[in-house]
């Protein structure tokens, strides 16, 4: 009961048949591998013989199963029946040695691949590349390509890779040229750089196309271009602001000059009116000198109108007296030339406004240099009428405010319950403008 025919339909039969079928498939794979990959005669012959052996074994097993299943003994020869009567373990031994042969061939193939360059190893290496690569004949026939390139071809053309010339045509059509190469944007904002290069191998002409993922580099370049454009826009705006600032500065200087001229002219006119009405208490020499200087300035004979004495505050007091305004100063006069100049401007402007608008003749100046924080506070009032409404700053008052704030001080103008003009400065210039 150990013959092959005796186990037909049993589990042993299925094991032996399944093993033979697997061996046929594996042997066929090994033969194909040697034929197309390594092309070495000795291993190829051994693998072919092993394939023939396991294939014959599989045929014997199939015939035996058919014979003893349908009981058609007369259709088989005595030789075949003798094979069916052989012990089944002999067939198992044949399968075992065939398996060892396959294992030996596989190890030999792996050893050879580790020391030699084969078509399979080249394909594996090319497939492992992150870039897409393809080599083709001049007519576009693909000789070698990797998985990345094949996937890119399908995304670019919508077709499987078959013609490299078609792929390059799509790259030219959809891409952005960069010195003979092309930047092609794919879905999901992916950007690939396509390059084409001619190569000669043993007198044969081929073309290699490579596709490199430059998404991150392209994003950085686009970001830099956007930032550069933004910087150019900022530069244009800065230039416009600079030009506008220059124009505004010139306009402000012109306005200050006109305000100063207006104030000087107003002072001269007030001096003249006061002299006509009060000759007995007006210094005619000051009126004469100021009028002559103003006339010569208006005629263009000198560069500046009359300013009085060299000390601006003393000159401002003298000018106030010449228009009938007495200036009463309480407290120590400031030694700082900058503050003294601004006080002179304030005295001049307040004196003129006292005559023109308040109908007064006394301007009081209270100087407090003991204020908290080392500040100087100057308060100017008059004995004229209380302003009817809020004082509108224009001309001399507006020019005075600008000069006070430019010096880092603070100017506060009030009309209730009486007219008052307060200027506050810090004795330390670095602290000016820091106090509210």
Pairing relation of β-strands 362-371 and 326-330?
parallel
Residues 146-163 as b/e (b if ≥16 CB within 10 A, e otherwise) read: bebbeebbeebbeeebeb
Q: Is 250 helix (H, G, I), strand (E, B) or coil?
A: helix
Beta bridge partner(s), residue 192: 184, 213
Structure tokens at 309: 């004495």
- The owner of tokens 């299925």 is 14
Which pLDDT belongs to residue 283?
66
pLDDT at residue number 3: 86
> Are the C-beta atoms of residues 327 and 321 closer than 8 Å to each other?
yes
Q: Dihedral of CA 416/419/420/421: which sign?
A: positive
For 421, the enclosing helix (H) or strand (E) is strand 420-426
DSSP structural state of residue 175: S
Task: Answer yes or no: same fold for 121-213 and 241-431.
Answer: no
Alpha-carbon distances of 89 from 4, 15, 52, 55, 259, rounded to whole Å: 8, 12, 20, 18, 126
| Cα–Cα distance measured from residue 36 to residue 30, given in angstroms and rounded to the nearest whole number | 10
Determine the CATH number of domain 121-213: 3.30.450.20
- Give the CATH number of domain 241-431; options: 3.90.1640.20, 3.40.50.300, 3.30.565.10, 3.40.50.1820: 3.30.565.10
How much is the pLDDT for 290? Answer: 63
Give the pLDDT confidence score for residue 197 in this predicted structure.
Answer: 93
Tokens at 263, concatenated: 């104030």
Helices 284-298 and 215-277: crossing angle in degrees, nearest 10, is 140
| DSSP one-letter string for 111-124 | HHHHHS--HHHHHH
Position 246 scores a pLDDT of: 57
Strand-by-strand arrangement of the 176-178 sheet: 142-145, 132-136, 204-213, 190-201, 181-186, 176-178
Residue-range domain boundaries for the chain: 5-116, 121-213, 241-431
DSSP state of 87: B
Q: Residue 101: name the closest of 138, 58, 62, 53 by CA.
A: 53
pLDDT at 370: 61
Q: What does each of the 436 residues of the chain score in pLDDT, given as a tens digit?
A: 688 888 888 898 899 999 999 999 999 988 887 777 656 788 888 989 999 999 999 999 888 888 887 777 677 788 888 888 889 899 999 999 999 999 998 888 777 766 665 666 677 778 888 899 999 999 999 988 999 999 999 998 998 998 999 999 999 999 988 888 999 999 878 899 999 999 998 888 999 999 999 988 888 877 877 887 877 888 888 777 766 655 655 565 565 556 555 566 666 666 666 667 666 666 666 666 667 666 655 665 554 555 555 688 888 888 888 888 999 999 888 888 889 999 999 999 999 888 888 889 999 999 987 655 668 999 999 999 988 878 888 778 888 999 999 999 999 999 888 899 999 998 655 545 443 3
3-state secondary structure (DSSP) of residue 330: strand
Tokens 């030009």 correspond to 243
Task: Count Cβ neighbours within 10 Å for each residue of 50-65 and write b for 16 or more, e otherwise.
Answer: bbebbeebbebbeebb
Strand partners, 198: 207
Q: How far apart are CA 327 and CA 382, in angstroms?
A: 9
- In the sheet that holds 362-371, the strands lie side by side as 326-330, 362-371, 375-382, 420-426, 410-414
- 50's enclosing H/E stretch is helix 41-70
Q: Which pLDDT does position 393 carry in this prediction?
A: 84
pTM, 2 dp = 0.39
Give residue 278's pLDDT.
65
User: What is the predicted pLDDT for the residue at 320?
Assistant: 86
Q: Centre a 10 Å sphere on the Cβ of residue 317 and count the other Cβ atoms it contains.
A: 24
């Amino acid at each position: 009961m150990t013959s092959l025919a005796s186990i037909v339909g049993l589990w042993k039969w299925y094991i032996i048949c399944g093993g033979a079928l697997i061996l046929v498939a594996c042997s066929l794979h090994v033969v194909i591998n040697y034929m197309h990959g390594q092309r070495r005669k000795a291993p190829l012959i051994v693998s072919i013989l092993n394939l023939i052996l396991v294939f014959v074994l599989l045929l014997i097993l199939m015939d035996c199963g058919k014979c003893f299943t349908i009981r058609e003994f007369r259709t088989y020869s005595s030789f075949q029946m003798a094979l069916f009567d052989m012990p089944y373990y002999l067939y198992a031994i044949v399968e075992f040695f065939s398996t060892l042969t396959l294992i030996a061939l596989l190890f030999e193939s792996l050893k050879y691949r580790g020391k030699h360059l084969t078509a399979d190893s080249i394909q594996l290496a090319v497939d492992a590349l992150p870039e897409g690569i393809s080599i083709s004949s001049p007519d576009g026939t693909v000789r070698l390509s990797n998985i990345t390139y094949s996937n890119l071809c399908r995304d670019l053309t919508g077709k499987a890779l078959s013609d490299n010339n078609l792929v390059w045509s799509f790259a030219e059509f959809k891409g952005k040229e960069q010195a003979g190469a092309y930047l092609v944007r794919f879905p999901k904002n992916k950007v690939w750089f396509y390059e084409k290069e001619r190569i000669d191998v043993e007198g044969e002409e081929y073309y290699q196309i490579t596709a490199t993922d430059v998404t991150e580099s392209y994003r950085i370049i686009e970001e830099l271009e956007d930032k550069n454009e933004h910087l150019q826009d900022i530069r244009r705006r800065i230039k416009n602001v600079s030009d506008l600032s220059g124009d505004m500065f010139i306009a402000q200087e012109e306005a200050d000059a006109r305000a100063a001229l207006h104030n000087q002219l107003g002072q001269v006119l007030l001096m003249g009116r006061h002299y006509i009405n009060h000759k007995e208490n007006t210094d005619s020499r000051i009126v004469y000198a100021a009028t002559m200087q103003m006339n010569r300035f208006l005629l263009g004979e000198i560069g500046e109108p009359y300013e009085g004495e060299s000390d601006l505050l003393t000159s401002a007091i003298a000018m106030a007296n010449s228009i009938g305004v007495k200036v009463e100063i309480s407290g120590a006069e400031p030694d700082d030339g900058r503050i003294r100049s601004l006080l002179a401007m304030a005295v001049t402007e307040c004196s003129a406004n006292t005559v023109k608008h308040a109908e007064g003749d006394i301007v009081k100046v209270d100087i407090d240099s003991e204020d908290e924080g080392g500040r100087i506070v100057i308060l100017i009032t008059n004995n004229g009428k209380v302003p009817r409404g809020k004082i509108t700053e224009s001309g001399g008052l507006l020019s005075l405010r600008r000069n006070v704030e430019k010096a880092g001080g603070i100017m506060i103008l009030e009309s209730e319950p009486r007219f008052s003009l307060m200027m506050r400065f810090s004795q330390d210039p670095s602290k000016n403008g820091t106090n509210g």
